[in-house]
Amino acid sequence: MAKKQPPRIWTDKDRAIVKRMAMIGVSHEIIAKALKVRKATLEADFAEELANSASEANAAVAGALFKNAMSGNVAAQIFWCKTRLGWKEKFEHEHGGKDGGPLQAVLEVVRKTKE
């Protein structure tokens, strides 16, 4: 019969690693492998870090985007307006003939002769 292992004592460094990996979207399976534990152990021992990391990362990125938009970064401003305000670009191309009439195609055949 195998001896039951004592509970592992996690360090602040371990918690920081889990939090950072979760913030950037690393799967629980890969984080567990990095710590050499089962996924269930990871999820039990680091429940808080795993639960809050994604929202903290999203808030940090949104804050950086906002800061860039406010400092004059036009790309950030456009992105903000499209995603937060629902703005969109609309391109309309109308093709018509003279005075709005139908298009007319003209085919010109030119014959070249030997001189």
This prediction's pTM = 0.65
User: pLDDT tens digits for 42-69?
Assistant: 999 999 999 999 999 999 999 999 999 9
Q: Please answer whether residues 19 and 53 qualify as being in contact, where contact means their C-beta atoms are separated by less than 8 angstroms.
A: yes
CA distance 55 to 78: 23
Quote the pLDDT of residue 2: 67
Q: What pLDDT is attached to residue 113?
A: 73
- Collect the ranges in the chain with pLDDT lower than 70: 1-2, 115
For the chain, percent of residues with pLDDT exceeding 90: 69
Residue type at 111 in one-letter notation: R
